[in-house]
Amino acid sequence: MLNYNRYFPNIIAVSKTFPMDEIKPLIDHGHIHFGENKVQEAIEKWQEEIQNNTKIKLHMVGKLQRNKVKLAVQLFHYIHSVDNLKLAQKIAEEQKKQNKQIKVFLQINIGKEEQKSGIPLEEVQNLYNDCLKLDLNVIGLMCLPPLDNKASTYFKNIKNMNNNLSMNELSIGMSNNYLEAVEFKTTFLRIGTKIFGARD
């Protein structure tokens, strides 16, 4: 059983598609972690807000195209969706240019679903090693499990790999499976509809 007095995951309020006037009450209440999945939308919504509130931490939780990496490195504090070497190389290149270091999660396609991004679990070690050679600050693994009611099985596998790589952070769990993710002591929960309601 978890000791909830000592375990407090960070909640990323996934604010994609929602306007700033619906996000602002959370900011005013002191919430600092927010997630977006499109770079251009994030720039339009967050650039001024982040300049005015340096406590805010912005998370890129969607697929990141290489042609958007420059802007992503400028704006985001975390990138949760690194899943190939070319993307990792581009991020490393931009970090050097901008003299900035992003916290990175490697995205795992834990269910080997063709429609989802991410690398197979058995390829994680190689990508992790390549990222270290690029001086990327890889802090943990991220996954989007299939909707087949087996989230705990997937979370257990990714937690074990995270431990094998001696990483302390874990980005698993969304609105539909956050309780299972908490059982595996995820350090970040990506919650959208449970906070903002259903998207149009």
28 pLDDT higher than 50: yes
**CB within 8 A of 86, min separation 6: which ones?**
66
Tell me, what's the pLDDT at 112?
Answer: 87
* pLDDT band (50, 70, 90) for residue 147: confident
**C-alpha to C-alpha distance for 170 and 116, rounded to whole angstroms:** 19
Q: What is the pLDDT of residues 123-135, one digit of tens each?
A: 999 999 999 999 9
Q: What is the pLDDT of residues 152-194, one digit of tens each?
A: 999 999 999 999 999 999 999 999 999 999 999 999 999 999 9
Tell me, what's the pLDDT at 101?
Answer: 95
The model's pTM is 0.94
Going through 1-136 in order, the beta strands assigned E by DSSP cover 10-14, 33-36, 57-60, 78-82, 103-108
Phi, psi of 122 (to 5 degrees): -70, -10
CATH topology of domain 10-196: TIM Barrel (3.20.20)
Tell me, what's the pLDDT at 113?
Answer: 86
SS3 call for 57:
strand
Specify whether the CB–CB gap between 136 and 104 falls below 8 A.
yes
Tell me, what's the pLDDT at 142?
Answer: 97
Specify whether the CB–CB gap between 59 and 80 falls below 8 A.
yes
Q: What are the extents of the domains in the chain?
A: 10-196
Specify whether the CB–CB gap between 91 and 79 falls below 8 A.
yes
Could you tell me which of 91, 76, 92, 83 has the C-alpha nearest to residue 34? 76
Please name the helix (run of DSSP H) or strand (run of DSSP E) that holds residue 19, with its range, or none: none
Q: What is the pLDDT of residues 51-80, one digit of tens each?
A: 999 999 999 999 999 999 999 999 999 999
